[in-house]
Amino acid sequence: MLSKEDAAILEQLPAEEGLRFVSSRFQDRAVFSTSLGQEDQVITDMIFKASLPIKVFTLDTGRLFSEHYELLSQNNARYTSKTEIYFPDSQDVEAYVNEKGINAFYQSVENRKECCFIRKVKPLNRALANAGIWITGLRSEQSQNREQMPVLEWDEERQLYKYNPLMHWSYQEVLDYLKQHNVQELSLHKKGFISVGCQPCTRAITQDEDPRAGRWWWESSHKECGLHSH
């Protein structure tokens, strides 16, 4: 368990040192979920370069951009450690598609959330089954939902800690790290895709739009898939 003092320490520690801190406390029960976005590429680089005992995994929903697979392949070639992949249950996907249609998520928020639950939430829960702390690339600037999130929080539903080492980073700091350390990133980012999810659910945004405006662009909701909802 982490104390209030530990939480206060993590609030002040730089991301690299914070990752060392939690990995030493939780050993093989520290995990990091990457969606291969810019923030996640920063954290992946920090973990793999320092050879920290943190499991890095990603969710392959079956509806990703081809660019995701290209970057995943590049990551696995660059680092000695590999990113583990979790897939949705095939029976869940088949039942959803056969009953509602291949693109049923466009029809209602309920259908979209069910698709996210099948393709993202359930595989995530399997990946986190034995974890003690879940590391994410969330930043407070990304959406209104995340403005008040702390660096360290307790996930009551999953009964584990959630550590957000980049919570107070600006987007410019993320870009600076990627450039300084020559970290590869999704080529989609240069085409206006800032927050990137599944291919049919993501569009490019204009310069004045919110970073998550391109996610589930056809609906007006909280722009969350359920992985980090509160």
Domain residue spans of the chain = 4-88+127-201
- Bridge-based pairing of strands 55-59 and 30-33 is parallel
CA 109 to chain centre: 21
Name the residue with tokens 């403005």.
Answer: 147
pLDDT confidence band for 228 (50 / 70 / 90) = low
Q: What pLDDT was estimated at residue 180?
A: 98
| Domain 4-88+127-201, CATH number (from 3.40.50.620, 3.40.50.720, 3.40.50.300, 1.10.3720.10) | 3.40.50.620
CA 7 to chain centre: 21
Average pLDDT over residues 30-52: 97
Kindly tell me if the per-residue pLDDT of 70 is higher than 90.
yes
Average pLDDT of every residue of the chain: 92
Per the annotation, the verdict on 225 as an active-site residue is yes
Q: Up-side HSE of residue 180: CA atoms within 13 Å toward CB?
A: 9
Kindly tell me if the per-residue pLDDT of 206 is higher than 50.
yes
Average pLDDT over residues 41-54: 97
Kindly tell me if the per-residue pLDDT of 140 is higher than 90.
no
Kindly tell me if the per-residue pLDDT of 230 is higher than 60.
no
User: pTM for this structure?
Assistant: 0.90
Of 116, 198, 201, 225, which is the active-site residue? Answer: 225
